Every structure is written in structure tokens, then in C-alpha cells.
Amino acid sequence: MKRYRLVAIIAILLVVFALPRVFFVPYVTNQLEQEIARNLQAREVKVQLETTWGWDLLFGRLPKLQFIASGAVIDGLQIARVELEGREIRFDPRLLLQEQELVYTAPFPVQGEIVVTENSLNELLWESVDPDRLLRFSVVPEGLDLGGTIQFWNLQWTVTLRGDLEVQHGTALRYVFKDLALSDTKLPPILLDVLSENYELVLDFGAFPYPVELEDVFLTEQEILITFGGQI
């Protein structure tokens, strides 16, 4: 009898010990997914919490948080994917339970990346600076090409501009011309000036709902990978 009683006590203790993992961790995960989806206007959000049985959450501490948001929108730009990782997060558990609001009580470091597709970049180009869709971007590892046919001096000019994206003011990317290729034609210098003035494109991530700084840009086939860091 004593043995069965001991087993029952151990079983009850294990159940009690596991309660935060079973109930509180899914609750916090769900609240974060809803908040991130709302902030990023994302189609889908997956949050992963790293916690010891969930007890640290009851005391307002989260050792590690990771999320992946798909189909997000930042300042009108369609974002294929946003990934973010934060560590040693402190928050108010009382407000989370009573008000369903996650309030951070101390800054914490984050790292992450943003992926933009070639199609999304072209949609922004056509919407903001080229409504006639005369030019389009091609994203390749060697650079960002802007090509197409435009009319100048009553002539049709087929141009391909090789450029790159440069970080500006920590929160924006600016398209900068680097080189020019033109099919069997010499380009008038004034036309290059016109293209530079009228087809300037800036991707502003200042509207990102978290205060981060862009760090680097990597170009692959039809995709742009942007890394960032900072504190929330």
C-alpha cells in the first residue's frame, strides 16, 4: 500500500510540475503568433519557445524565442519570409494573463533575416516609380539588374543597368547603379542621369514593427536576403 501511495504522489507531482508546459507554453505561443501576425500583416506565423518546462514563463522570463513569418507586408513591400531570434526576454506575466498583452520589461538582443523575392521587388517598382512597367528587376548573385525598353528623344532605347542594394541610415536599402550594358548602341550620358533620377528605388524598413538595424544584403537567384540585428 505504501508503495502505491508513493507512486501516486510521484505521479501527482509530475502532473503539477508539467502543468506550465502543457497549458502556459501553448498559451504564450498562441498569443505571440497572433501579435506577430498582426504587426507584420503576415499570412502565417510559427513561434518556437525554448523554456524549461514553462516555469520560467510564470516568472516573466523566456530564455529563447524564434519565429518565422510568411507572407508579411512592410511598408507596402511583400515579404516572402521574416525570421527572428531573441534571447533572455523579460516580460510581465500578470499582464499577459489578465490583459492578453505581452509587455516587455527589459530590452533584449535580436538577430534575424528578411527574404524578398524578385516578383515582389518588381511589383513595388511598378507601383511606386514605373506604372507603365517599362523596366523590370532581375535578381542574380552578381548584382541587381534593371532592364527594359524606354523612349527618349523619340527613340526606343533598350537598356540593362547593373546595380546593387546598399544599406542607408540603418533602416533602408537604396538601389545604386554600378554598370551599364546597352545592345549595340551608345547611351547618351543625359539618359543615364534621367534613369538615375526617375527610377531611384528605396526599400524603407523603418516601418518594421521592431526597432532593428539592417546589417547586410545577399543576392541569390530571384531572391534578396537581408540580415538585421538590434534590441527590442
Q: pLDDT (tens digit, 9 = 90+) per residue, 80-124?
A: 999 999 988 888 888 877 777 778 888 888 899 999 999 999 999
Domain assignment present for 24 = yes
Closest CA to 137 of 121, 152, 149, 117: 121
Closest CA to 146 of 180, 173, 115, 120: 180
Boundary residue ending a domain (106, 133, 168): 106
Domain assignment present for 205 = yes
Q: How many CA atoms lie within 13 A of 64 on its CB side?
A: 7
Task: Say what the pLDDT of residue 18 is.
Answer: 47
Neighbours of 228 (CB within 10 A): 22
Domain assignment present for 48 = yes
Beta bridge mates, 79: 72
Task: Say what the pLDDT of residue 211 is.
Answer: 81
Contact between 29 and 45 under an 8 Å Cβ cutoff? The reply is no
Boundary residue ending a domain (45, 77, 106): 106
Task: Say what the pLDDT of residue 4 is.
Answer: 56
Indicate whether 165 and 220 sit together in one domain: yes
Q: Is 13 left (phi over 0), alpha (psi -120 to 50) or beta?
A: alpha
Task: Say what the pLDDT of residue 157 is.
Answer: 75
Boundary residue ending a domain (74, 106, 138): 106
Which stretches in the chain have pLDDT values below 70? 1-23, 53-55, 179-189
Closest CA to 85 of 101, 65, 55, 69: 65
C-alpha grid cell for residue 61? 522570463
Domain assignment present for 111 = no
Q: What is the DSSP string of the chain?
A: -HHHHHHHHHHHHHHHHHHIIIIIHHHHHHHHHHHHHHHHT-SEEEEEEE-STTHHHHTTEEEEEEEEEEEEEETTEEEEEEEEEEEEEEB-HHHHHHHS---BSS--EEEEEEEEEHHHHHHHHHHHT-TT--EEEEEETTEEEEEEEEEETTEEEEEEEEEEEEEETTTEEEEEEEEEEETTSPPPHHHHHHHHHHS--EEE-TTSSS-EEEEEEEEETTEEEEEEEEE-
What's the total number of domains in the chain?
2
Domain assignment present for 113 = no
Provide the residue range defining the domain that includes 74: 2-106
Indicate whether 188 and 84 sit together in one domain: no
Task: Say what the pLDDT of residue 160 is.
Answer: 80
Indicate whether 221 and 127 sit together in one domain: yes
Predicted TM-score (pTM) of the model is: 0.81
Task: Say what the pLDDT of residue 96 is.
Answer: 75
Indicate whether 136 and 218 sit together in one domain: yes
Q: Provide CB contacts within 8 A for 55, sequence distance 6+.
A: 20
Task: Say what the pLDDT of residue 32 is.
Answer: 86
Indicate whether 150 and 222 sit together in one domain: yes
Indicate whether 89 and 158 sit together in one domain: no
Indicate whether 95 and 156 sit together in one domain: no
Indicate whether 33 and 86 sit together in one domain: yes
Cα–Cα distance, 27 to 105 (Å, whole number)? 19
Task: Say what the pLDDT of residue 122 is.
Answer: 93
Indicate whether 123 and 222 sit together in one domain: yes
Task: Say what the pLDDT of residue 72 is.
Answer: 93
Cα-to-chain-centroid distance, residue 131: 26
- In terms of Cβ atoms closer than 10 Å to its own Cβ (0-12, 13-18, 19+), residue 94 is exposed
Indicate whether 68 and 93 sit together in one domain: yes
